[in-house]
Structure 1
Amino acid sequence: MPKPTTDPAALELGVDRTSPVPLYYQLARQLEAAIEQGRLAPGSLLGNEIDLAARLGLSRPTVRQAIQSLVDKGLMVRRRGVGTQIVHSRGRRPLEVSSLYDELEAAGGHPATRVLRNTVEPAGPRVADALEVAEGSDVHLVERIRYAHGEPLALLRNHLLPGIVDLDTARLEATGLYRLLRGSGIALHSARQSIGARTATAEEAAGLAEAEGAALLTMERTAFDDTGRAIECGSHLYRASRHTFDFQLLAR
């Protein structure tokens, strides 16, 4: 992996003036690639727009448009008195039975967790159907906010069969749920999952540092162990400005 830098001037940037692709877009894509590939470290300052424009032989409005497009994507932020700062790369989640915590940790996202609820409650119709238990029977509910680079990324709501794993709040805030399950000897084998989108309620927006009505990605998942038993079902909300899901498609 390329060594990250906090000095954008160290990046090799350039534009092709013979290309039909707009100059601002060429610059924006190069900067975005540097962020996504880890070549431009979170927290670094982009520097003066005038200097960057002069270095590349571009107009200042062209550079400003490129930067604004990345601000709009949540990859950069303009801070008064500080300048334009790299926030972090957008989280990319492969579609596999994996933990968001593990994915963030592997990508250097410095995951952290705040537990909102950790309790036992009666299973409603949807949860009972997913976990294949009688409606009204006890199930464990865990609700958390997952952070990456110090910013809220996702609101995670999981129901589990009771008694299969120690769901101590301190342990839940120290690591990922699937890691706890694996540590308890549960072999996760497969999952049924659906992805959608909707807008944030006022309460959800407050927890995720978004505006009410902001776009959220949704994920509904039921995970099964290697015996085919339903272990947990999750209902997760992700900030669309900070997260994507990756699909691999095979031709037939």
Structure 2
Amino acid sequence: MDVQFSIDRTSPVPLYFQLSQQLEAAIGRGDLPPGSLLGNEIDLAGRLGLSRPTVRQAISALVDKGLLVRRRGVGTQVVHTEVRRSLELSSLYDDLASAGRRPATRVLALGVVPAAAGPAAALGLAEGDDVLRMERLRLTGDEPIAYLTNHLPAHLLRPAAADLEATGLYRLLRMAGTTLHSARQTIGARAATPEEAHLLAEPPGAPLLYMTRTAFDDKGHVVEHGTHLYRASRYSFELQLLMRS
């Protein structure tokens, strides 16, 4: 483990909590990817000049959060962390990047096709009209997180696969002069088909979160309709609820 920690012994913050917070931040940034070994408590305490009970308390706090696991004969190990995403009009690529999760994209399909009934209705087009259709697999590091299918009016954007691999769809839309304003969104859950399970590295029938979203620009025009599938074992949505007066 090459991550450096800074412990301030003059701070009123308990030493175990300082270490716990820095470990959690390193895991969130990807500096300690899933599978990383922390070493045993005696070695870690010696490196940091801390007592073994202090190190044990810090590690126990992250074990309780599900970020670390103690394995007999192996030691303390980083486990797969869940991506948490606030429900806002933003792209998954930008959300992962801002969280330090190192997003990557694999373009599975990209081209102009005749609109099927569902996407045509969502985009306000006639069935058979030209639409830009794309399928992408979103990853953090080498781990798949989401399978994304999007339809756009064909005149709005014509990205190359390399463009979609380099950044998020909403950023490309903004660069093309589209001002995103609002969206209508539905979230649910269902079992993975064999093909979806293979793409997302899950067993067939594993639970997936799905989201359908129709996005509008500042003039009220539909600019994008997406159907996205997320690994329920690695992903969750966060909502802020306000009491109605």
The reply to whether TM is greater than 0.5 is: yes
- 1:130-163, CA deviations, whole angstroms, 9 ceiling, x for partnerless residues? 1000012111110000111321110000001002
Gaps of 5+ in 1: 15-29
Gaps of 5+ in 2: 8-13, 45-50
Aligned mates of 1:192, 1:89 — CA distance in 2: 28
Which residue is equivalent to 1:232?
224
**Does the 8 A contact of 2:147 with 2:229 survive in 1?**
yes
Distance 1:12 1:236, change over 3 A: farther
Moved over 6 A (4+): 49-52, 77-82
Which residue is equivalent to 1:55?
52
Which residue is equivalent to 1:141?
133
- 1:60-115, CA deviations, whole angstroms, 9 ceiling, x for partnerless residues? xxx7xx84982xxxx45789996543256421111111011111111111111000
What is the Cα deviation at residue 125 of structure 1?
A: 1.8
Q: Which moved more, 1:139-148 or 1:210-219?
A: 210-219
Q: Which moved more, 1:187-196 or 1:206-215?
A: 206-215
- 1:4-29, CA deviations, whole angstroms, 9 ceiling, x for partnerless residues? x8479x79448xxxxxxxxxxxxxxx
Which residue is equivalent to 1:26?
none
* 1:204 matched to 2:201: no
Which residue is equivalent to 1:23?
none
Give me the CA root mean square deviation: 3.6
In the superposition, the TM-score normalised over structure 2's length comes to 0.77
Which residue is equivalent to 1:25?
none
**Does the 8 A contact of 2:28 with 2:101 survive in 1?**
no
Which residue is equivalent to 2:32?
42
**SS across alignment from 2:125:** coil
**Does the 8 A contact of 1:88 with 1:149 survive in 2?**
no
What is the Cα deviation at residue 38 of structure 1?
A: 4.5
What is the Cα deviation at residue 244 of structure 1?
A: 1.1
Instruction: In structure 2, give the amino acid aligned to 1:179.
Output: R
Instruction: In structure 1, give the amino acid aligned to 2:174.
Output: R
**SS across alignment from 1:153:** strand
* 1:159 matched to 2:151: yes
In the superposition, the TM-score normalised over structure 1's length comes to 0.75
